[in-house]
Amino acid sequence: MSNPLIARHVASMSGYTPGEQPRGQRLVKLNTNENPYPPSPAVAAALAAVDPASLRRYSDPLAVAVRQRIAEIHGCPVEQVFAGNGSDEILALATRAFVNDDGSVGYFVPSYSLYPILADIRQVEKRPAPLTANYGWQLPPDYEASLFFMANPNAPTSLQHDKATVAEFCRTFPGVVFIDEAYADFAAHNCMDLATAAGNRNTIVMRTLSKSFSLAGLRFGYAVGPVELIQALYKIKDSYNLGAIPQKLALAALNDLDHMHANVKRILATRARLTQELRKRGWRVLDSATNFLFARPPDGDAERVFNQLRAAEIYVRYFPGPTTGDSIRITIGTDAEIDTLLENLA
């Protein structure tokens, strides 16, 4: 019997399961797509410069300084930028701002498993759209939703949708298209220009500092889109959704793009090496546009490999199910971590 003090729709939900965060000195953690390299030294300097006495005052509720830097990077007015407490906050706000009670949330399957959870929280219809057998683009011609979440590049598949296809979809889709570009810095192209285009009416592109900027623990994300849609997000956000320290550190990181690009270059080199080595061993490895690989072992028994690695304190991610259960997701770590992984796959 459910607790009557808990809302019925919450009591019946399964809830989102984050990636495991194991603790230990010798483990190899390749399960949550964190960056294996430290953030910019400018971030450490900004943290050291924080005056504890300043924390008695509230942070800037509009995060103006860091939003101005984001606007400068993407060549758009600051009014087109929303700054949030990690990408997940922005995704949740989108379901409240752009979906009426009789509306719907769409998303590809497989993709980020938080999307349907957010629809359940809002108690609105879910409209999952299965990808092709090869995880390619596939939508019915009459497909509609109030809000469509699109991870591009996608997780856990690591693949990136064709930009021309995405652009045409955004042009014709009647609802809001929310492109989640958490992994865009590891890809050959991105869709930010769709968000900043003069004629854009319905497309928002979101980024995070968790992956390429090595700041997963900071919780900072941002969205760029039409002014009217961005203003809707600001209407419903928490009053001080970003603390003073995250704002300062995010600004420091965004002021040192060279450091981020250098780390990305190292990760891409390791990604290419791991892809080549696994394919030599008979694995099916998709052409990744991210900082991880989605890879199928030769016998297709991904759960066995997952458990084998876990026993050796090497953590990767396994997604049970008919479309993902034959593969594991491997975050690109340092070269030493990848060497350890390969040794344990021998």
Cis peptide before 174 (omega within 30 of 0): no
Mention every residue, 6+ apart, whose C-beta is less than 8 A from residue 329. Answer: 31, 33, 155, 156, 158, 292, 293, 294, 295, 316, 317, 318, 319
Place of tokens 């359940």: 120
Phi, psi angles (nearest 5°) of residue 91: -60, -45
Residue 18: predicted pLDDT: 76
Q: What 3-state DSSP class applies to 308?
A: helix
Where do the CATH 3.90.1150.10 domains begin and end in the chain? 8-39+258-345
Structure tokens at 40: 């910019």
Within the chain, all domains assigned CATH 3.40.640.10 are found at: 51-256
pLDDT at 25: 66
pLDDT tens per residue across all 346 residues of the chain: 678 778 888 888 777 777 777 876 679 999 999 999 999 999 999 999 999 999 999 999 999 999 999 999 999 999 999 999 999 999 999 999 999 999 999 999 999 999 999 999 999 999 999 999 999 999 998 999 999 999 999 999 999 999 999 999 999 999 999 999 999 999 999 999 999 999 999 999 999 999 999 999 999 999 999 999 999 999 999 999 999 999 999 999 999 999 999 999 999 999 999 999 999 999 999 999 999 999 999 999 999 999 999 999 999 999 999 999 999 999 999 999 999 999 999 7
Is the four-CA dihedral 174, 114, 189, 195 of positive or negative sign? positive
Say if domain 8-39+258-345 classifies as CATH 3.90.1150.10: yes
Which among 113, 11, 62, 30 has a CA at the least distance from the CA of 244?
62
Q: Which residue matches tokens 């299965």?
A: 130
User: Is it true that domain 51-256 has CATH number 3.40.50.1010?
Assistant: no
CA distances in angstroms from 117 to 183, 238, 341, listed in the order given: 21, 20, 32
Predicted structure pTM score: 0.95
The distance between the two most distant Cα atoms of the chain, rounded to a whole number of Å, is 59
177-to-67, 173, 183, 215 alpha-carbon distances in Å:
22, 8, 17, 26
Residue 188's identity, in one-letter code, is: A
Four-residue CA torsion sign, 257, 232, 237, 16: negative
SS3 114: helix
Instruction: Choose among 207, 204, 223: nearest CA to 257.
Output: 207
In whole angstroms, give the CA distance from residue 197 to residue 204: 11
Provide the token pair at 59: 């942070």
Between CA 306 and CA 327 the distance in angstroms is 9
